Structures are given as C-alpha cells and as structure tokens.
Amino acid sequence: MAVSIAHLGPTGTYSEAAALACARSLHDLGEETLLCACPSIARAIETAAADGAQLAVVPVENSLEGTVTITLDTLWQLDQMQIQQAYVLPISHALLSLASNQSGIKTVYSHPQALAQCHGWLKNFLPEVQLIPTNSTTEALKYLDSDRQAGAIASRRAAELYQIPILAYPINDHPDNCTRFWVLSLQPSPFFGPTEEDKSHTSIAFSVPANVPGALVKPLQAFASRSINLSRIESRPSKRSLGDYVFFLDLEADAKAPSTQAALAELTAYTEILKIFGSYNIQIFTNDR
Amino acid sequence: MAVSIAHLGPTGTYSEAAALACARSLHDLGEETLLCACPSIARAIETAAADGAQLAVVPVENSLEGTVTITLDTLWQLDQMQIQQAYVLPISHALLSLASNQSGIKTVYSHPQALAQCHGWLKNFLPEVQLIPTNSTTEALKYLDSDRQAGAIASRRAAELYQIPILAYPINDHPDNCTRFWVLSLQPSPFFGPTEEDKSHTSIAFSVPANVPGALVKPLQAFASRSINLSRIESRPSKRSLGDYVFFLDLEADAKAPSTQAALAELTAYTEILKIFGSYNIQIFTNDR
C-alpha cells in the first residue's frame, strides 16, 4: 500500500517540493507514495494525527522570516506527533506574469513570507507596485489569467506546472534563503533510519508554572550543566495570558543518550507540561527543483 | 512644541489606540502631542530613528499570536533606539459590515493577526466565508462600501470613526486577548519617570559566534547564576544562514542594578554583537477604548 504524505497544497508550493523530496527517499526504499494536498499547514498535521495520512511534511522555519508559528502551535495542541526527519531546502523565488515585461506590472501577489523575502528586489525594480498577500505562493497565480498587469512570486516549478512565463529569477534578497521542514508521523517510522542509531537532534516543548520568578532559568540549566547545546529556542504564547509562554527547544543530542535522559528527568521537576517530539537527523538539499 | 508620536496607521488601528494612550499620559504632564500615522511598523520606527518623530509606539507581542517579528528585526538593524515604556492594551475585535445581518456575509477582510485571533468564532458562526488578509485592520474597511456581502474585523473605535455598523462584538476567541507595545525614542525621554529610579524590565539582543557548540548556554548562565529572571526569550534568524540566530531577551531587572551590570559585562565575552535597548516599566490598561 502506498505511503500517504500530507502537505500544504495546492500543487506547486514549496511544501509540496519538500513532500516530493520525502517521496523520492521513500521510492529509493522501494515504497510507493501518495501525496495528499491540504488547504493549510494545520490541516496537514491534523490529517496525519487522525491517521488520514501516514506522514505530514510541514515547514518549521525559514532562514529569513523565522518560525512558522502555526506548525509549533499545532504540534503543541495535538501533542502525540513525532518528528521523524528534518529537511533543509533552498528557496529561490521567481516573478511570474503574463505581462510582456516587468515595467507592465502594477500588482504583485504572493504569500506574505515570499513577499518579505523579495522585499529589497521589489523596492529596487518594482517600487511602485501594490503588494497583495495570498494564502500560498500557488494561490497568487490565479490572479494572473484575468489581469495582465499582475505578477506573482512563486517557484520555477510552479511556473512550469501552470505554464506561466518567468520574468525574473532569482529575486530573493538573500541567495542562501532556505526553509527547514519536519516529517511528522504518529508512530516511529521505519523509513528514516534505524531507531537504535543515534540521531543528531531532539525537539521538545514545555510550559512552566505561571508567575514563578526564575521559572525558565532552571530548565535551561538542566541542559547547560550537562553541556547539551540548544541549537534553537523559541517562545510561543500559551494563549492563557500575556507573558505566559510555551518554550520550544531543539537540542543537539539524541533523546536516548544518558545525559539527555538525565536532563529530561530533571526537567519534569520544573515544568508544568513537557512534550518530547522525538529525535531525528537533518538532511540538507542543495538543488531547488 | 508638540511631541510627535509615530505609529502604524491609518487612523483606527490598534497601534493608534496605543499611541493615543501615550498621548494621554503626555497630556497629563502638560505636553501637547501630534500623532504621525505611518504606512508600516518598520516605517514608524525608522521615522523616530531619523528624528522625524520624537517617539514611536509599536506592537511587540500579542497574547495569542506571539511576537511581532518586524518590530524586533527593525530594532536590531537600527540599533540605536531605546525603549522608554511598555503598554499592555486589551484587544477586542468587532465584525463590521454594511450587510443587514451576519448570514449575508460571504467574505471577511482583516489583518492576518486579527483573522487568527477570531479563528474559532469564524469557524462557528461564518464557516463558509472566504478570509482575505489585509495590511491593517483599518485597510479591511475599504472593501465594505462597494461590497455589501463583505465584512471586516476591526476595533469598535474604527466602527465609530468610519461609521460602519457592528454586527457582532466581541468576536475574539480569548477574552484576555491583549497586545504589548513599546514606546521608543532615540534619547532617554523625560516623560516616563526619572531615569535614576529603578525600572522593572530591561530588553537586550545579541548574536553569538556561528557554529560554536554551547554558544547559547553561557549567555543564559550569566543571568541564571545571578538569579536574574528572563520573562521572555525569542530567537530571530540572523538572515545569514539557517540555524544562525539573534536572541532577544527581556530581563526582570534594571540595567543599572549591580547584578545586571555584572551579567552584561560577562555577556560581552560570549556574544558577537550585544545591544541593550534600555530599561522601562510596564503599564497595563484594562479598557479598550
């Protein structure tokens, strides 16, 4: 039976590109795959959590725009999803339009993150255009047919799929623009290396008792005292009151290593809710197709 | 001469409400004020940084949606702005429309944060509507005149200013929804208490050397070992490469207290760039008008 992979659709999004990378690695293991395009990132995670898909591939963080907050918030709420693998994909944006040239463009549509990532280029080359946010880079394309003065920022792959000319490429301000994705599933997945092998990263999240001075200090010392490096720390509102947070940590360690086990055991004394999203490796891609 | 206060406009935004709160406290000190509406949060901060306004009032964080990343990113880039005061304002959203009742609404426009804050209400009462993001809650109102099947999510104050009927209020999912704002200026401002008096909070930001294991542990220990509590920690991409961050910390201490001074001095040994945005108090408002 084919392995189903939920992702943010429609076809042509960067999330689909990440899901395709996941599908290719499964094909190498002799598995068939089925991509399942969802209308939102939350829905992609919820689909896998409800067993409607075996895997979900979702963006976590972009090198320019930072955290994809809906991914962290949804993981915290659902709580039983485990991270199997991380992918880092380069993101290169193109300007797509049916206009005969750049100077004919009056409006540019795209996802807010893509607009932000091309902020400098737009300021230089299209300073007068109106920028209009859309729900995905692919959604931006639907305005082009009816309006030849409209442009969209999307991937080269989207240009090919929907047969829309590329007027400029690449147009992102930083050539190293890339996005990290997580592959999630309910159960430990056999497709991402043996579970007894040490993984390079572990992600956890926790809340601390509200209004207790020093509440964040002790959890961080649990790792610091054992020389476990945090590659990332992110606070998200608990949605209870301002100043009350859930903390997301990426540790450079495997959860089953003795020092990590000791730190996590100590952590339970300081935290209100502690969730361990599992250990995984990071695979870095250098080609945007 | 009137004190000029830059904020995200146009009139009717929540940022303007925060700027008005700032203006009222200046009026109490006998000062005249002049509000200066800017097209973006970045522009409001840049206006004050270029001495085009004496103060800028900008949102930092919402209790549901978290950090306003553009505020942190702009502060880091500009680097010489100082925080004079923090405000916490309750945020209550209304549904505005020229439709005769809710069931006539097919489309709802608003700022993405406001749409997110009313997610549950929209799902319950308007499950079929199309949600369209705008650049501010006020910008959403411009669609209502030409389309009687359109609604906008904005403040009650915006409804009054633009004379648009309110169909439902409040519609935010969490009644405690509130936003923290910072009052910024280039120079220590005489309007927010004597500088020799201890302030409750200090905000700093720093980058650490890239690819050095444990780089974040030592800066955090500098505060932990002195029992200085962090009320908030936020990582933002440095925009150099993925996994390379700038950390923003809010300390529950005055920067000129001896223990804070010692921690900050120690910090310089571990950080690449360290910026201290100053010490300030937090004023909490309980009325949304």
Nearest-neighbour CA in chain B from A20: distance (Å): 21
Q: Using an 8 Å Cβ cutoff, are A285 and A275 in contact?
A: no
First-to-final CA distance of chain B = 27
Over residues B76-83, the mean pLDDT reads 90
Percent of chain A residues past pLDDT 90, beyond the cut = 65
How far, rounded to the nearest angstrom, does the alpha carbon of residue A43 sit from its chain's CA centroid? Answer: 14
Pairing, β A107-110 against β A55-62: unpaired
pLDDT, mean over chain A: 90
Contact B216 A227 (CB under 8 A): no
Contact A234 B230 (CB under 8 A): no
B86: nearest Cα among B197, B250, B223 = B250
Q: Report the C-alpha gap between B149 and A189 in whole angstroms.
A: 47
Please name the helix (run of DSSP H) or strand (run of DSSP E) that holds residue B70, with its range, or none. helix B69-78
Task: Give the number of beta-carbon pairs within 8 Å between A and B.
Answer: 108
For residue B35, the domain's CATH number is 3.40.190.10
**Residue that has been written with the tokens 């990590």 in this structure:** A260
Tens of pLDDT, residue by residue over A267-289, are 999 999 999 999 999 999 986 44
Q: Using an 8 Å Cβ cutoff, are B103 and B148 in contact?
A: no
This prediction has a pTM of 0.84
Q: Is residue B286 part of a domain?
A: no
Tens of pLDDT, residue by residue over B124-171, are 999 999 998 887 889 899 999 999 999 999 999 999 999 999 999 999
Nearest-neighbour CA in chain B from A1: distance (Å): 35
B57: nearest Cα among B41, B74, B69 = B41
Which residues on A lie below 8 Å from B214 (Cβ)? 227, 229
Q: Put residue B79 in one of left, alpha, beta given phi > 0 → left and psi -120 to 50 → alpha.
A: left
Query: Which pLDDT score is estimated for A2?
Result: 93
Query: Which pLDDT score is estimated for A288?
Result: 45
A3 by DSSP, 3-state: which?
strand
Which of A217, A234, A240 faces B224 most closely, judged by CB atoms? A217
Which of A214, A223, A239 faces B229 most closely, judged by CB atoms? A214
Tens of pLDDT, residue by residue over B38-52, are 988 999 999 999 989
pLDDT greater at residue B174 or residue B82: B82
Which residue range(s) make up the domain with B215? 201-280
Tens of pLDDT, residue by residue over B202-238, are 999 999 887 665 677 788 888 888 888 888 888 898 8
Contacts of B45 (CB under 8 A, 6+ apart): B6, B56, B58, B71, B74, B75, B78, B81, B184
Say whether both B99 and B76 belong to one domain.
no
Q: Is residue A214 part of a domain?
A: yes
Which residues on A lie below 8 Å from B252 (Cβ)? 213
Query: Which pLDDT score is estimated for B233?
Result: 85
Q: Which residue of B has its CA nearest to A180?
A: B242
Q: Report the C-alpha gap between B145 and A234 in whole angstroms.
A: 42
Nearest-neighbour CA in chain B from A41: distance (Å): 14
Q: Report the C-alpha gap between A146 and A144 in whole angstroms.
A: 6
* Residue B102: φ, ψ to 5°: -55, -35
Pick from A43, A239, A241, A251 the residue to mutate for testing the B interface (most B CBs within 10 Å).
A239
Say whether both A78 and A110 belong to one domain.
no
Which of A180, A217, A221 faces B242 most closely, judged by CB atoms? A180
Q: How many helices and strands, by DSSP H and E, does chain A display? A: 8, 16
A280: nearest Cα among A209, A180, A206 = A180
Q: Is residue A58 part of a domain?
A: yes
Percent of chain B residues past pLDDT 70, beyond the cut = 97
Pick from B235, B246, B286 the residue to mutate for testing the A interface (most A CBs within 10 Å).
B235
Pairing, β A94-97 against β B3-8: unpaired
Domain boundary among B136, B159, B191: B191
Per-residue pLDDT band at B288 (split at 50, 70, 90): very low
Over residues B172-183, the mean pLDDT reads 92
Q: Is residue A217 part of a domain?
A: yes
Q: Using an 8 Å Cβ cutoff, are B79 and B93 in contact?
A: no
DSSP secondary structure, A141-153, as one string = GGGTTT-TTEEEE
Q: Report the C-alpha gap between A278 and B50 in whole angstroms.
A: 48
Query: Which pLDDT score is estimated for B210?
Result: 72
pLDDT greater at residue A64 or residue A7: A7
Q: Report the C-alpha gap between A58 and A62 in whole angstroms.
A: 12
* Residue B126: φ, ψ to 5°: -135, 60
A73: Cα within 13 Å, side-chain hemisphere: 15
Q: Is residue B102 part of a domain?
A: yes
For residue A240, the domain's CATH number is 3.30.70.260
Say whether both A71 and A108 belong to one domain.
no
Domain boundary among A188, A218, A237: A188
First-to-final CA distance of chain A = 27
B86 by DSSP, 3-state: which?
strand
Which residues on B lie below 8 Å from A133 (Cβ)? 112, 133-135
B7: Cα within 13 Å, side-chain hemisphere: 27
Per-residue pLDDT band at B190 (split at 50, 70, 90): confident
Q: Using an 8 Å Cβ cutoff, are A199 and A281 in contact?
A: yes
Say whether both B186 and B163 belong to one domain.
no
Say whether both B86 and B184 belong to one domain.
yes
Over residues A234-246, the mean pLDDT reads 83
Over residues A132-137, the mean pLDDT reads 84
B60: nearest Cα among B232, B239, B228 = B232
A184: nearest Cα among A67, A29, A76 = A76
Over residues A2-7, the mean pLDDT reads 96
Which of A218, A232, A245 faces B232 most closely, judged by CB atoms? A245
Q: Report the C-alpha gap between B229 and A138 in whole angstroms.
A: 44
Query: Which pLDDT score is estimated for A212?
Result: 63
A124 by DSSP, 3-state: which?
helix
Instruction: Give yes or no for residue A209 having a pLDDT over 50.
Output: yes
At A43, the amino acid letter reads: R
The ipTM, to two decimals, is: 0.77
Contact A65 B237 (CB under 8 A): yes
Q: Which residue of B has its CA nearest to A173?
A: B239
Tens of pLDDT, residue by residue over A155-205, are 999 999 999 999 999 999 888 889 999 999 998 888 998 878 899 999 999
Say whether both A33 and A105 belong to one domain.
no
Query: Which pLDDT score is estimated for B245?
Result: 87
Q: Using an 8 Å Cβ cutoff, are A8 and A134 in contact?
A: no
Q: Is residue A287 part of a domain?
A: no
Query: Which pLDDT score is estimated for B135?
Result: 78
User: What are B269's two structure tokens?
Assistant: 């040994």
Domain boundary among A143, A158, A188: A188
Say whether both A77 and A104 belong to one domain.
no
Q: Which residue of A has its CA nearest to B239?
A: A64
Query: Which pLDDT score is estimated for B16?
Result: 94
Tens of pLDDT, residue by residue over B92-120, are 999 999 999 999 999 999 988 899 889 88
Which of B217, B223, B229 faces A213 most closely, judged by CB atoms? B229
Q: How many helices and strands, by DSSP H and E, does chain B display? A: 8, 16
Over residues A219-236, the mean pLDDT reads 85
- Comparing A50-64, A206-220, A240-254, the range with the smallest average pLDDT is A206-220
User: What are B45's two structure tokens?
Assistant: 């901060």
Q: How far is CA A220 from CA A272, A279, B207, B223, B230, in A?
A: 15, 19, 18, 11, 11
Which of A178, A230, A239 faces B174 most closely, judged by CB atoms? A239
pLDDT, mean over chain B: 90
As a residue count, chain A comes to: 289
Q: CB B265: neighbour CB atoms within 10 A?
A: 10
Chain B contacts to A (CB-CB under 8 A): 61-66, 69, 88, 112, 133-135, 174, 176, 178-180, 213-218, 220-221, 223-224, 227, 229-237, 239-243, 245, 247, 252
Query: Which pLDDT score is estimated for A214?
Result: 62
Q: Using an 8 Å Cβ cutoff, are B157 and A157 in contact?
A: no
Which of A214, A232, A242 faces B88 most closely, judged by CB atoms? A242
Buried b (16+ CB within 10 A) or exposed e, B9-29: bbebbbbbbbbbbbbebbeee
Q: Report the C-alpha gap between B226 and B263 in whole angstroms.
A: 7
Say whether both A84 and A98 belong to one domain.
no
Domain count, chain B: 3
Q: Which residue of B has its CA nearest to A249?
A: B235
Q: Is residue B174 part of a domain?
A: no
A239: nearest Cα among B265, B46, B63, B40 = B63
Query: Which pLDDT score is estimated for A266?
Result: 97
